[in-house]
Amino acid sequence: MAVENIIEINNIVKNYRIRKGLFKFENFKALDGVSLSIRRGEIFGLLGTNGAGKTTLIKVMAGLLQADCGTGTILGFDIYNDHKKIRANVSLVAPTADVGTDNNLTVRQNLEFWAVVYNLQKEKREKRINDVLNFLDLKEYENFWPISISAGMRQKLAIARSLLVQNPILFLDEPTVKLDAKGAQSIREFIRKINKEFNTTIILTTHYIFEAEELCERVAIMDKGKIISCDFVDNLRNNLQKYDSFTIECDNLSTEIIEKIKFNKNVLECTYENRALHITTDKLENILNFTVSFLRKENIDIHSMETNEYTLEDIFIKITTEGEIK
């Protein structure tokens, strides 16, 4: 079954005019030939430092900014001619939850206001609002003023607004940037829940590398207005290193035990020194499980284990300093 691309953009360029003096302006290239395909139903990460172009890119994809050149379609709508149709079928949650939230209205009243703005049918409004409040665990706060609830709850309210119309695409621009650890984790859990329950395509911008690794199967790494790498996280890891390795600290091993471990065809190298068993392999998970099981069967005490498996942070640093992984 073919995978459907819900977003297709090609060679997108966006320039801003930056004032450099009283009468002098200079062009700043925020997007420099960006091409991207995003699949229906996935959580896709845009990863990069501040100024990399992430927010500009999602504003173009959400129909809020017009590119200077390039081509693209969002849900089949052209990015130049169908701005209104794109905006009507996507939702965008800004980095701060207070944008679009009226502190003179309660949580429920805010949702009622936006239900009217979204032209939600009157007979559907109350049920949809109740469903969203329950889904995001906001029901007990429905009569609170937004200013009196936590930043994490206000971010949930911003997401709740976007769910009223159940658009197929949800853009989340750094959704946890101003939250404490507990509030941020709560938002990440609801991002997964929204994706699973509604099959919503979610495009997430973040400069928190662990967040992209936790939520996204695929990521695009941006730097200076360009996408310098785009792939599944596992593929990025595999391309960065040819072989995996791990080290197990354990009690003294006999030559016979070491030779039995070496005999496995996927063990490429096996050394033992100073109570550290070091193994290089092309099948990390299989050989790690095999080795641990074998040592336990031989009644060998294991004190610690460590693998060389690259994290997304390692990948990000390598790509942004050395260029795309080959």
Domain count across the chain: 2
146 by DSSP, 3-state: which?
helix
77 by DSSP, 3-state: which?
strand
204 lies in a domain?
yes
Same domain, 260 and 161: no
11 lies in a domain?
no
Same domain, 105 and 193: yes
Domain of residue 291, residue span: 241-307
Same domain, 128 and 221: yes
Instruction: State residue 99's pLDDT score.
Output: 66
- CATH (domain of 303): 3.30.70.100
Instruction: State residue 184's pLDDT score.
Output: 84
Same domain, 104 and 146: yes
Same domain, 87 and 167: yes
65 lies in a domain?
no
Instruction: State residue 1's pLDDT score.
Output: 44
Same domain, 188 and 105: yes
**Beta bridge mates, 206:** 47
Same domain, 130 and 232: yes
32 lies in a domain?
no
Same domain, 210 and 262: no
Same domain, 226 and 252: no
170 lies in a domain?
yes
133 lies in a domain?
yes
The pairs formed by 82-91 with CB atoms below 8 angstroms and a separation of 24 or more are 86/62, 87/62, 87/63, 89/167, 89/168, 89/169, 90/61, 90/62, 90/63, 90/167, 90/168, 90/169, 90/170, 90/171, 91/161, 91/162, 91/163, 91/165, 91/167, 91/169, 91/170, 91/171
63 lies in a domain?
no
Same domain, 46 and 109: yes
75 lies in a domain?
no
Instruction: State residue 185's pLDDT score.
Output: 86
pLDDT tens digits, residue range 147-162? 999 888 888 898 888 8
Same domain, 165 and 202: yes
Among 190, 206, 237, give the residue marking a domain's end: 237
Among 187, 216, 237, give the residue marking a domain's end: 237
Contact status, residue 156 vs residue 149, Cβ threshold 8 Å: no
Spans of the chain, pLDDT less than 50: 1, 326
Same domain, 164 and 247: no
- CATH (domain of 157): 3.40.50.300
Among 203, 237, 271, give the residue marking a domain's end: 237
List, in sequence order, the alpha helices (H) in the chain.
54-61, 83-89, 107-117, 122-135, 151-163, 181-198, 209-215, 233-240, 255-262, 284-297, 312-322
Q: Which residue has the tokens 């992430």?
A: 54
